Structure 1
């Protein structure tokens, strides 16, 4: 039944959002990019994140768009290959104008990560997980 799942995000300016995500290392399908939308690929499985101008997104949801300065509807989590990759991504986010709301650091003794907001306030979590240090039950 389901072939693929993708995430749709509202943005004020799809091309400006594309610039931000390109600067931090994400790739895009150029043939699926318009002035009002951009098709971003995440990870080895090429998970699709569609960036839609708010007016276009509003037509899809027929509901109010969440004010990301006041609340979060979800946390998008991605994995990193190393602690150093987490650190590099945090630096790229800052340089591209994003907000690192949780600096890179240890979490629960077996994870290392950081949290950041993109230009629109969508929250992302980047984690390197060392499963050999994960507590056993």
Structure 2
């Protein structure tokens, strides 16, 4: 099995969502993108495929969940430092994300999350190196 993960997310406005995630530092892979979907590299083998709601709906036989009203998953990204989390949260907030709670500092772990433009939940986590 190839060690890559792709999260497929329905979005209301593909161009706005691409701009939002580009501002966070994600890059678009044009080879797998078109007017209905944008394949974006997050880090290493982790990607998101942003899909217009209509295209996403064509691939499933259930209703598309309105992520602003209910969630099925929280996407968690491990970060290299507290500062990286703070920087990404600031960029997400500037791009229109909702920040549901202040950062949580547990000493050995630091985390904070955001809700993207379509209501999908993202959590950013840093853990202290183990001795």
The normalised TM-score by structure 1 is: 0.87
How many angstroms does 1:76 deviate by?
0.2
Separation (CA, whole Å) in 2 of partners of 1:13 and 1:125: 22
Q: What is the distance in 1 between the residues matched to 2:26 and 2:45?
A: 10
* Counterpart-to-counterpart distance in 2, 1:19 and 1:25: 10
Which consecutive unaligned segments of at least 5 residues does structure 1 have? none
State the partner residue of 2:27: 27
Secondary structure at the aligned position of 1:93 is classed as: helix
| Partners of 1:15 and 1:36 within 8 A in 2 | no
Alpha-carbon separation, structure 1, partners of 2:20 and 2:47: 16
Q: Which residue of 1 aligns with 2:73?
A: 74
The equivalent residue for 1:120 is: 118
- The 8 Å contact of residues 28 and 41 in structure 1, kept in 2 or not, is answered as yes
Structure 1 runs (4+) greater than 3 angstroms displaced: none
Shift of 1:48: 2.0
In the superposition, the TM-score normalised over structure 2's length comes to 0.91
Q: How many residues align?
A: 130
Asked which structure has the greater CA Rg, the reply is: 1
Residues 27-106 of structure 1 mapped to structure 2, 5 A cutoff? 27-43=27-43, 45-106=44-105
Structure 2, unaligned stretches of length 5 or more? none
Aligned-partner Cα distance in 1 for 2:22–2:102 = 21
Tell me how far apart the structure 1 counterparts of residues 100 and 93 of structure 2 sit (CA, whole Å).
10
